[in-house]
Amino acid sequence: MAVPVIMPKQGQSVESCIITKWHKKKGDRVKAGDLLFTYETDKATFDEEAKVDGVILEIFFEEDEDVPVLTNVCVIGEEGEDYSEFDPRGPQKPTQSAEDTTSKEAQETISVESSSGINLNKTQESAVQDIQPGERIKISPRARNYAEKIGIDYRYATSTGPHGRIIERDIIALQEKGPVFTFAAKDVAMEYQTGIPTEGTGLGGRIRIEDLKKEAEVPVTQQSAEAASSVAAPVHTAAKLPEEHEPEYVEVKLTNIRKVIAKSMHQSLANSAQLTLHTTFDATEILNFRKKIKENKDKLGLQNITINDIILYAVSRTLLNHKYLNAHFLDDKIKLFNVVHLGVAVDTERGLMVPTIMYANKKSLNEISAEVKALVSECQKGTINPDLLKSGTFTVTNLGMLDIESFTPVINPPQTGILGVNNVVQRVREVNGQYEYYPAMGLSLTFDHRAIDGAPAARFLKELKENLENFTLLLTK
Protein backbone atom coordinates (compact mmCIF):
# COMPACT_ATOMS: atom_id res chain seq x y z
CA MET A 1 0.00 0.00 0.00
CA ALA A 2 1.29 3.43 -0.88
CA VAL A 3 2.49 5.40 2.11
CA PRO A 4 2.80 9.16 2.08
CA VAL A 5 5.83 10.89 3.58
CA ILE A 6 4.88 14.06 5.35
CA MET A 7 6.91 17.13 6.11
CA PRO A 8 7.65 16.64 9.80
CA LYS A 9 6.80 19.32 12.27
CA GLN A 10 10.03 20.41 13.95
CA GLY A 11 8.87 22.41 16.89
CA GLN A 12 5.67 24.08 17.88
CA SER A 13 6.09 27.30 15.98
CA VAL A 14 7.27 25.82 12.72
CA GLU A 15 4.60 26.07 10.09
CA SER A 16 6.53 25.20 6.99
CA CYS A 17 9.95 23.97 5.94
CA ILE A 18 12.01 24.37 2.83
CA ILE A 19 13.22 21.32 0.99
CA THR A 20 16.85 22.06 0.36
CA LYS A 21 17.82 18.88 -1.37
CA TRP A 22 16.25 15.79 -2.77
CA HIS A 23 18.52 12.79 -2.45
CA LYS A 24 16.16 10.62 -4.45
CA LYS A 25 14.05 11.22 -7.46
CA LYS A 26 10.73 9.94 -8.67
CA GLY A 27 10.95 6.29 -9.58
CA ASP A 28 13.90 5.55 -7.30
CA ARG A 29 13.68 2.46 -5.17
CA VAL A 30 14.35 3.19 -1.51
CA LYS A 31 14.87 1.15 1.60
CA ALA A 32 13.77 2.13 5.05
CA GLY A 33 16.49 4.35 6.44
CA ASP A 34 17.56 5.77 3.08
CA LEU A 35 17.97 9.50 3.02
CA LEU A 36 15.05 11.04 1.14
CA PHE A 37 15.45 14.75 1.38
CA THR A 38 17.05 17.47 3.42
CA TYR A 39 14.99 20.36 4.65
CA GLU A 40 15.50 23.46 6.63
CA THR A 41 13.57 25.36 9.15
CA ASP A 42 14.54 28.88 9.98
CA LYS A 43 16.78 27.45 12.63
CA ALA A 44 18.28 24.24 11.44
CA THR A 45 18.67 21.62 8.78
CA PHE A 46 17.22 18.16 9.04
CA ASP A 47 17.33 14.95 7.08
CA GLU A 48 14.23 12.87 6.39
CA GLU A 49 14.69 9.17 5.96
CA ALA A 50 12.43 6.66 4.32
CA LYS A 51 10.41 4.70 6.86
CA VAL A 52 9.32 1.97 4.46
CA ASP A 53 10.78 0.14 1.50
CA GLY A 54 9.41 0.86 -1.95
CA VAL A 55 9.50 3.05 -4.96
CA ILE A 56 9.10 6.79 -4.84
CA LEU A 57 5.86 7.06 -6.77
CA GLU A 58 5.62 10.81 -6.78
CA ILE A 59 7.33 13.86 -5.39
CA PHE A 60 4.93 16.67 -4.71
CA PHE A 61 7.41 19.42 -3.91
CA GLU A 62 10.67 20.31 -5.58
CA GLU A 63 13.81 21.58 -3.98
CA ASP A 64 13.56 25.04 -2.48
CA GLU A 65 9.86 24.78 -2.14
CA ASP A 66 8.38 25.87 1.12
CA VAL A 67 6.14 23.07 2.35
CA PRO A 68 3.60 23.41 5.17
CA VAL A 69 4.36 20.94 7.91
CA LEU A 70 2.38 17.71 7.99
CA THR A 71 1.74 17.99 4.28
CA ASN A 72 2.47 15.03 2.08
CA VAL A 73 5.84 15.54 0.39
CA CYS A 74 6.12 12.32 -1.54
CA VAL A 75 4.62 8.86 -1.72
CA ILE A 76 6.41 5.56 -1.40
CA GLY A 77 4.74 2.43 -2.65
CA GLU A 78 4.87 -0.16 -5.34
CA GLU A 79 4.87 0.66 -8.98
CA GLY A 80 1.49 1.15 -10.53
CA GLU A 81 -0.23 1.94 -7.27
CA ASP A 82 -2.66 4.79 -7.18
CA TYR A 83 -1.32 7.55 -5.01
CA SER A 84 -3.62 10.33 -6.13
CA GLU A 85 -5.41 10.38 -2.81
CA PHE A 86 -2.19 11.53 -1.15
CA ASP A 87 -1.59 14.39 -3.52
CA PRO A 88 -1.87 17.52 -1.42
CA ARG A 89 -2.35 19.58 -4.54
CA GLY A 90 -5.84 18.18 -4.95
CA PRO A 91 -7.25 16.06 -7.74
CA GLN A 92 -4.59 15.18 -10.27
CA LYS A 93 -3.87 18.04 -12.56
CA PRO A 94 -2.22 17.62 -15.94
CA THR A 95 1.45 16.84 -15.57
CA GLN A 96 3.33 19.99 -14.97
CA SER A 97 6.87 20.85 -15.84
CA ALA A 98 8.95 22.35 -13.10
CA GLU A 99 9.75 25.38 -15.25
CA ASP A 100 6.12 26.10 -15.82
CA THR A 101 5.31 29.05 -13.63
CA THR A 102 1.66 28.15 -13.21
CA SER A 103 2.67 24.74 -12.02
CA LYS A 104 4.97 26.31 -9.55
CA GLU A 105 2.16 28.35 -8.18
CA ALA A 106 0.01 25.31 -8.01
CA GLN A 107 2.62 23.59 -5.98
CA GLU A 108 2.92 26.46 -3.65
CA THR A 109 -0.73 26.32 -2.78
CA ILE A 110 -1.74 23.38 -0.79
CA SER A 111 -5.09 21.76 -0.58
CA VAL A 112 -6.06 18.76 1.45
CA GLU A 113 -9.32 18.46 -0.39
CA SER A 114 -8.61 15.09 -1.90
CA SER A 115 -6.65 13.82 0.98
CA SER A 116 -8.06 10.65 2.38
CA GLY A 117 -5.59 11.44 4.87
CA ILE A 118 -6.91 10.20 8.13
CA ASN A 119 -3.29 10.17 9.20
CA LEU A 120 -2.99 13.72 8.04
CA ASN A 121 -6.19 15.03 9.48
CA LYS A 122 -5.76 13.25 12.74
CA THR A 123 -3.13 15.56 13.98
CA GLN A 124 -3.58 18.50 11.72
CA GLU A 125 -4.73 21.54 13.52
CA SER A 126 -5.63 23.62 10.58
CA ALA A 127 -6.17 22.60 7.06
CA VAL A 128 -5.18 25.10 4.48
CA GLN A 129 -7.62 26.58 2.06
CA ASP A 130 -6.60 26.41 -1.54
CA ILE A 131 -7.67 29.63 -3.08
CA GLN A 132 -5.99 29.79 -6.36
CA PRO A 133 -7.58 32.50 -8.41
CA GLY A 134 -10.70 31.23 -10.15
CA GLU A 135 -11.01 28.16 -7.99
CA ARG A 136 -13.99 27.48 -5.83
CA ILE A 137 -13.59 28.42 -2.23
CA LYS A 138 -15.09 25.92 0.13
CA ILE A 139 -17.06 27.64 2.81
CA SER A 140 -20.03 26.59 4.87
CA PRO A 141 -23.27 28.46 4.25
CA ARG A 142 -23.21 29.62 7.82
CA ALA A 143 -19.70 30.99 7.56
CA ARG A 144 -20.54 32.72 4.30
CA ASN A 145 -23.65 34.32 5.72
CA TYR A 146 -21.84 35.43 8.83
CA ALA A 147 -19.05 36.96 6.77
CA GLU A 148 -21.61 38.86 4.75
CA LYS A 149 -23.43 39.98 7.85
CA ILE A 150 -20.36 41.50 9.45
CA GLY A 151 -19.05 42.74 6.12
CA ILE A 152 -15.87 40.76 6.05
CA ASP A 153 -14.17 39.26 3.03
CA TYR A 154 -14.13 35.55 3.75
CA ARG A 155 -11.35 34.96 1.26
CA TYR A 156 -8.97 36.17 3.93
CA ALA A 157 -10.09 33.45 6.30
CA THR A 158 -7.82 30.58 7.12
CA SER A 159 -9.89 27.46 6.79
CA THR A 160 -9.88 25.02 9.66
CA GLY A 161 -12.92 23.00 8.63
CA PRO A 162 -12.88 19.52 7.17
CA HIS A 163 -11.41 19.24 3.71
CA GLY A 164 -10.27 22.82 3.62
CA ARG A 165 -13.72 24.22 4.25
CA ILE A 166 -13.97 27.66 5.82
CA ILE A 167 -16.29 27.33 8.78
CA GLU A 168 -17.81 29.79 11.15
CA ARG A 169 -14.92 29.84 13.58
CA ASP A 170 -12.59 30.87 10.77
CA ILE A 171 -14.67 33.94 10.05
CA ILE A 172 -14.73 34.76 13.74
CA ALA A 173 -10.96 34.39 13.82
CA LEU A 174 -10.66 36.61 10.78
CA GLN A 175 -12.91 39.16 12.39
CA GLU A 176 -10.81 39.14 15.52
CA LYS A 177 -7.37 38.89 13.98
CA GLY A 178 -7.68 40.35 10.53
CA PRO A 179 -6.55 39.00 7.18
CA VAL A 180 -3.87 36.42 6.96
CA PHE A 181 -0.46 37.41 5.68
CA THR A 182 2.80 35.64 5.40
CA PHE A 183 4.92 36.69 8.33
CA ALA A 184 7.06 38.90 6.21
CA ALA A 185 4.17 40.46 4.38
CA LYS A 186 2.31 41.18 7.56
CA ASP A 187 5.06 43.48 8.82
CA VAL A 188 5.19 45.28 5.54
CA ALA A 189 1.45 45.57 5.37
CA MET A 190 1.44 47.20 8.77
CA GLU A 191 3.38 50.06 7.35
CA TYR A 192 1.12 50.19 4.31
CA GLN A 193 -2.08 51.02 6.06
CA THR A 194 -3.76 51.27 2.71
CA GLY A 195 -3.76 48.89 -0.14
CA ILE A 196 -4.24 45.40 1.17
CA PRO A 197 -4.73 43.28 -1.90
CA THR A 198 -7.96 41.37 -2.30
CA GLU A 199 -6.15 38.33 -3.62
CA GLY A 200 -3.45 36.58 -1.73
CA THR A 201 -1.36 34.25 -3.80
CA GLY A 202 0.49 32.61 -0.94
CA LEU A 203 -0.29 29.46 0.94
CA GLY A 204 -3.91 29.31 2.00
CA GLY A 205 -4.53 32.64 0.33
CA ARG A 206 -1.98 34.31 2.52
CA ILE A 207 -0.96 37.70 1.31
CA ARG A 208 2.61 37.68 0.20
CA ILE A 209 5.08 40.49 -0.29
CA GLU A 210 4.57 40.03 -4.00
CA ASP A 211 0.93 40.85 -3.61
CA LEU A 212 1.76 43.93 -1.61
CA LYS A 213 4.30 44.95 -4.20
CA LYS A 214 1.70 44.83 -6.90
CA GLU A 215 -0.45 47.09 -4.82
CA ALA A 216 2.45 49.40 -4.10
CA GLU A 217 2.95 50.06 -7.80
CA VAL A 218 -0.34 51.90 -7.86
CA PRO A 219 -0.02 55.52 -6.66
CA VAL A 220 -0.88 55.70 -3.03
CA THR A 221 -3.58 58.30 -3.20
CA GLN A 222 -5.48 56.41 -5.82
CA GLN A 223 -5.04 53.31 -3.78
CA SER A 224 -6.50 54.93 -0.73
CA ALA A 225 -9.52 55.96 -2.67
CA GLU A 226 -9.93 52.48 -3.97
CA ALA A 227 -9.52 50.98 -0.58
CA ALA A 228 -12.08 53.30 0.89
CA SER A 229 -14.65 52.57 -1.76
CA SER A 230 -13.97 48.89 -1.99
CA VAL A 231 -16.69 46.79 -0.35
CA ALA A 232 -14.38 43.88 -0.17
CA ALA A 233 -11.77 45.74 1.77
CA PRO A 234 -10.90 44.12 5.04
CA VAL A 235 -12.52 45.68 8.01
CA HIS A 236 -9.58 47.31 9.64
CA THR A 237 -8.80 49.50 6.64
CA ALA A 238 -12.28 50.83 6.75
CA ALA A 239 -11.77 52.32 10.19
CA LYS A 240 -13.20 55.80 10.23
CA LEU A 241 -11.30 58.86 11.31
CA PRO A 242 -13.02 61.39 13.50
CA GLU A 243 -14.23 64.38 11.55
CA GLU A 244 -12.09 67.44 12.28
CA HIS A 245 -12.16 70.93 10.92
CA GLU A 246 -8.39 71.28 11.03
CA PRO A 247 -6.65 68.76 8.84
CA GLU A 248 -4.58 66.39 10.89
CA TYR A 249 -2.15 65.73 8.18
CA VAL A 250 -0.90 66.81 4.82
CA GLU A 251 -0.66 64.35 2.04
CA VAL A 252 2.63 64.49 0.21
CA LYS A 253 3.13 62.69 -3.04
CA LEU A 254 6.09 60.42 -3.06
CA THR A 255 8.96 61.31 -5.29
CA ASN A 256 10.17 58.68 -7.63
CA ILE A 257 13.35 58.13 -5.76
CA ARG A 258 11.37 57.76 -2.55
CA LYS A 259 9.33 55.14 -4.24
CA VAL A 260 12.40 53.34 -5.45
CA ILE A 261 13.96 53.47 -2.02
CA ALA A 262 10.75 52.35 -0.44
CA LYS A 263 10.36 49.51 -2.80
CA SER A 264 13.93 48.42 -2.54
CA MET A 265 14.06 48.61 1.22
CA HIS A 266 10.77 46.85 1.47
CA GLN A 267 11.81 44.12 -0.74
CA SER A 268 15.02 43.84 1.12
CA LEU A 269 13.49 43.44 4.51
CA ALA A 270 10.59 41.40 3.35
CA ASN A 271 12.32 38.96 1.15
CA SER A 272 15.53 38.23 2.92
CA ALA A 273 16.67 37.10 6.29
CA GLN A 274 18.69 39.99 7.55
CA LEU A 275 20.56 40.27 10.74
CA THR A 276 23.31 42.50 11.94
CA LEU A 277 26.58 41.84 13.73
CA HIS A 278 28.22 44.64 15.62
CA THR A 279 31.85 45.00 16.50
CA THR A 280 34.42 47.68 17.13
CA PHE A 281 38.03 47.95 16.20
CA ASP A 282 40.91 49.91 17.50
CA ALA A 283 41.08 52.90 15.16
CA THR A 284 44.42 54.14 16.44
CA GLU A 285 46.31 53.06 13.37
CA ILE A 286 43.95 54.40 10.75
CA LEU A 287 43.56 57.66 12.62
CA ASN A 288 47.32 58.03 12.73
CA PHE A 289 47.55 56.99 9.10
CA ARG A 290 44.96 59.51 8.10
CA LYS A 291 46.75 62.18 10.10
CA LYS A 292 49.93 61.46 8.19
CA ILE A 293 48.14 61.56 4.85
CA LYS A 294 46.50 64.80 5.76
CA GLU A 295 49.82 66.28 6.64
CA ASN A 296 51.47 65.05 3.45
CA LYS A 297 48.76 64.89 0.83
CA ASP A 298 49.69 68.00 -1.01
CA LYS A 299 53.32 67.00 -0.95
CA LEU A 300 52.51 63.57 -2.32
CA GLY A 301 49.69 64.71 -4.58
CA LEU A 302 47.18 62.53 -2.82
CA GLN A 303 43.52 62.99 -2.30
CA ASN A 304 42.12 64.12 0.96
CA ILE A 305 41.74 60.53 2.03
CA THR A 306 38.99 60.11 4.61
CA ILE A 307 38.44 57.45 7.24
CA ASN A 308 35.59 56.28 5.06
CA ASP A 309 37.94 55.87 2.09
CA ILE A 310 40.25 53.79 4.26
CA ILE A 311 37.40 51.55 5.30
CA LEU A 312 36.25 51.20 1.71
CA TYR A 313 39.72 50.16 0.73
CA ALA A 314 39.97 47.65 3.56
CA VAL A 315 36.58 46.19 2.66
CA SER A 316 37.56 45.87 -0.98
CA ARG A 317 40.62 43.93 0.03
CA THR A 318 38.90 41.71 2.57
CA LEU A 319 35.73 40.79 0.73
CA LEU A 320 37.19 38.39 -1.76
CA ASN A 321 38.10 36.07 1.09
CA HIS A 322 34.42 35.99 1.97
CA LYS A 323 32.73 35.58 -1.34
CA TYR A 324 29.27 34.86 0.08
CA LEU A 325 29.18 38.43 1.24
CA ASN A 326 30.30 39.65 -2.13
CA ALA A 327 27.43 38.08 -3.87
CA HIS A 328 23.97 38.36 -5.33
CA PHE A 329 21.33 36.12 -3.79
CA LEU A 330 18.88 35.19 -6.53
CA ASP A 331 16.31 32.93 -4.77
CA ASP A 332 17.30 29.70 -6.38
CA LYS A 333 20.98 30.50 -6.86
CA ILE A 334 23.72 32.76 -5.63
CA LYS A 335 26.24 34.68 -7.72
CA LEU A 336 29.67 34.84 -6.12
CA PHE A 337 31.73 37.69 -7.54
CA ASN A 338 35.44 37.55 -8.15
CA VAL A 339 35.62 41.30 -8.26
CA VAL A 340 34.35 43.86 -5.85
CA HIS A 341 31.93 46.54 -6.98
CA LEU A 342 31.57 48.50 -3.87
CA GLY A 343 28.41 50.46 -3.23
CA VAL A 344 28.72 53.61 -1.18
CA ALA A 345 25.63 54.97 0.49
CA VAL A 346 25.29 58.66 -0.13
CA ASP A 347 22.93 60.98 1.61
CA THR A 348 21.48 63.47 -0.85
CA GLU A 349 18.67 65.97 -0.78
CA ARG A 350 16.62 63.67 -2.87
CA GLY A 351 17.29 60.82 -0.54
CA LEU A 352 19.57 57.87 -0.20
CA MET A 353 21.66 56.96 -3.25
CA VAL A 354 24.16 54.19 -3.61
CA PRO A 355 26.68 54.74 -6.38
CA THR A 356 29.22 52.01 -7.08
CA ILE A 357 32.96 51.94 -7.20
CA MET A 358 33.52 49.42 -9.94
CA TYR A 359 36.39 46.97 -9.48
CA ALA A 360 37.24 48.50 -6.16
CA ASN A 361 39.49 45.58 -5.34
CA LYS A 362 41.77 46.65 -8.17
CA LYS A 363 41.89 50.29 -7.24
CA SER A 364 44.35 52.02 -4.94
CA LEU A 365 43.28 53.88 -1.86
CA ASN A 366 43.92 57.11 -3.63
CA GLU A 367 41.88 56.07 -6.65
CA ILE A 368 39.06 54.97 -4.46
CA SER A 369 39.13 58.21 -2.59
CA ALA A 370 39.02 60.22 -5.78
CA GLU A 371 36.25 58.15 -7.26
CA VAL A 372 34.09 58.44 -4.17
CA LYS A 373 34.36 62.17 -4.21
CA ALA A 374 33.36 62.25 -7.87
CA LEU A 375 30.43 59.90 -7.34
CA VAL A 376 29.11 61.82 -4.36
CA SER A 377 29.29 64.98 -6.33
CA GLU A 378 27.44 63.44 -9.26
CA CYS A 379 24.80 62.05 -6.95
CA GLN A 380 24.22 65.36 -5.34
CA LYS A 381 24.00 67.01 -8.71
CA GLY A 382 21.78 64.27 -10.01
CA THR A 383 24.03 63.55 -12.91
CA ILE A 384 25.02 60.09 -11.83
CA ASN A 385 25.00 57.36 -14.45
CA PRO A 386 22.06 55.10 -13.46
CA ASP A 387 24.11 52.01 -14.21
CA LEU A 388 26.41 52.96 -11.40
CA LEU A 389 23.51 52.89 -8.99
CA LYS A 390 22.70 49.23 -9.27
CA SER A 391 25.83 47.28 -9.94
CA GLY A 392 27.26 46.81 -6.47
CA THR A 393 28.27 43.52 -4.97
CA PHE A 394 28.52 44.93 -1.45
CA THR A 395 27.72 48.23 0.16
CA VAL A 396 29.26 50.42 2.80
CA THR A 397 27.17 53.00 4.57
CA ASN A 398 28.49 55.47 7.05
CA LEU A 399 26.54 57.24 9.75
CA GLY A 400 29.54 57.78 11.95
CA MET A 401 29.66 61.45 11.19
CA LEU A 402 26.14 61.71 12.57
CA ASP A 403 27.32 60.22 15.85
CA ILE A 404 25.66 56.89 15.38
CA GLU A 405 27.23 54.26 17.58
CA SER A 406 25.59 51.28 15.98
CA PHE A 407 22.74 50.56 13.61
CA THR A 408 21.23 47.90 11.40
CA PRO A 409 21.75 48.89 7.81
CA VAL A 410 19.35 47.46 5.28
CA ILE A 411 20.79 45.31 2.55
CA ASN A 412 20.52 46.56 -0.97
CA PRO A 413 19.15 43.48 -2.74
CA PRO A 414 20.23 41.27 -4.28
CA GLN A 415 23.45 41.91 -2.36
CA THR A 416 24.02 39.73 0.66
CA GLY A 417 25.74 42.18 2.95
CA ILE A 418 26.12 45.78 3.92
CA LEU A 419 28.59 47.29 6.28
CA GLY A 420 27.56 50.14 8.50
CA VAL A 421 30.34 52.42 9.72
CA ASN A 422 29.83 54.13 13.06
CA ASN A 423 31.49 56.89 14.99
CA VAL A 424 34.59 56.64 17.11
CA VAL A 425 34.20 56.43 20.85
CA GLN A 426 36.84 56.26 23.50
CA ARG A 427 36.94 52.88 25.09
CA VAL A 428 38.84 51.41 27.95
CA ARG A 429 40.84 48.24 27.78
CA GLU A 430 43.21 46.46 30.10
CA VAL A 431 46.79 46.19 29.00
CA ASN A 432 49.26 44.55 31.37
CA GLY A 433 47.09 45.31 34.35
CA GLN A 434 46.70 48.90 33.30
CA TYR A 435 43.54 50.48 31.92
CA GLU A 436 44.08 52.52 28.87
CA TYR A 437 41.88 54.49 26.51
CA TYR A 438 41.80 53.83 22.84
CA PRO A 439 39.60 55.08 20.02
CA ALA A 440 37.08 52.41 19.14
CA MET A 441 35.22 52.58 15.88
CA GLY A 442 31.99 50.63 15.38
CA LEU A 443 31.18 48.36 12.49
CA SER A 444 27.72 46.97 11.87
CA LEU A 445 27.53 44.19 9.35
CA THR A 446 24.08 43.23 8.09
CA PHE A 447 24.05 40.01 6.13
CA ASP A 448 21.43 37.86 4.52
CA HIS A 449 21.16 34.69 6.48
CA ARG A 450 19.74 32.99 3.45
CA ALA A 451 23.13 33.34 1.79
CA ILE A 452 25.54 33.09 4.64
CA ASP A 453 25.47 31.92 8.21
CA GLY A 454 26.46 33.88 11.25
CA ALA A 455 29.93 32.49 11.80
CA PRO A 456 31.35 33.08 8.32
CA ALA A 457 29.90 36.57 8.41
CA ALA A 458 31.59 37.13 11.72
CA ARG A 459 34.83 35.87 10.27
CA PHE A 460 34.65 38.53 7.59
CA LEU A 461 34.17 41.17 10.25
CA LYS A 462 37.08 39.75 12.22
CA GLU A 463 39.40 39.85 9.23
CA LEU A 464 38.21 43.32 8.35
CA LYS A 465 38.86 44.43 11.89
CA GLU A 466 42.37 42.99 11.79
CA ASN A 467 43.06 44.64 8.46
CA LEU A 468 41.92 48.00 9.76
CA GLU A 469 43.87 47.68 12.95
CA ASN A 470 46.92 46.85 10.86
CA PHE A 471 46.10 49.02 7.93
CA THR A 472 49.64 49.84 6.90
CA LEU A 473 50.35 46.14 6.62
CA LEU A 474 47.32 45.78 4.40
CA LEU A 475 48.53 48.58 2.21
CA THR A 476 51.77 46.88 1.70
CA LYS A 477 50.17 43.65 0.51
Catalog residues that contact other proteins under the rule CB under 8 A: 85, 116-118, 121-127, 140-143, 145, 160-163, 165, 167-169
CA 104/CA 98 separation, integer angstroms:
7
The answer to whether 361 and 314 are in contact (CB under 8 A) is no
Nearest CB to other proteins, comparing residues 85 and 226: 85
Sign of CA dihedral 185, 187, 190, 191: negative
CA 426/CA 80 separation, integer angstroms:
74
Query: Cβ of residue 171: shortest distance to other proteins, in angstroms?
Result: 10
Query: Cβ of residue 1: shortest distance to other proteins, in angstroms?
Result: 13
CA 407/CA 442 separation, integer angstroms:
9
Is-catalytic flag, 449?
Answer: yes
The answer to whether 228 and 238 are in contact (CB under 8 A) is yes
Interior/surface letters 112-129, b for 16+ CB within 10 angstroms, e for the rest: bbbbebeebeeebebbbb
Nearest CB to other proteins, comparing residues 71 and 446: 71
Q: In the 3-class helix/strand/coil scheme, how is 9-47 assigned residue by residue?
A: CCCCCCCEEEEEEECCCCCCEECCCCEEEEEECCCCEEE
Q: Do β-strands 35-40 and 45-49 pair in parallel, antiparallel, or remain unpaired?
A: antiparallel
According to DSSP, residue 166 is labeled B
Nearest CB to other proteins, comparing residues 117 and 442: 117
Nearest CB to other proteins, comparing residues 127 and 152: 127
**What residues does 417 pair with on adjacent strands?**
447
Nearest CB to other proteins, comparing residues 142 and 294: 142
The answer to whether 180 and 207 are in contact (CB under 8 A) is yes
The answer to whether 342 and 388 are in contact (CB under 8 A) is no
Query: Cβ of residue 162: shortest distance to other proteins, in angstroms?
Result: 5
Residue 18: φ, ψ to 5°: -105, 130
Of the candidates 16, 414, 408, the one whose C-alpha atom is nearest the C-alpha of residue 182 is 16
Query: Cβ of residue 112: shortest distance to other proteins, in angstroms?
Result: 11
| Catalytic residue numbers, as ranges | 449
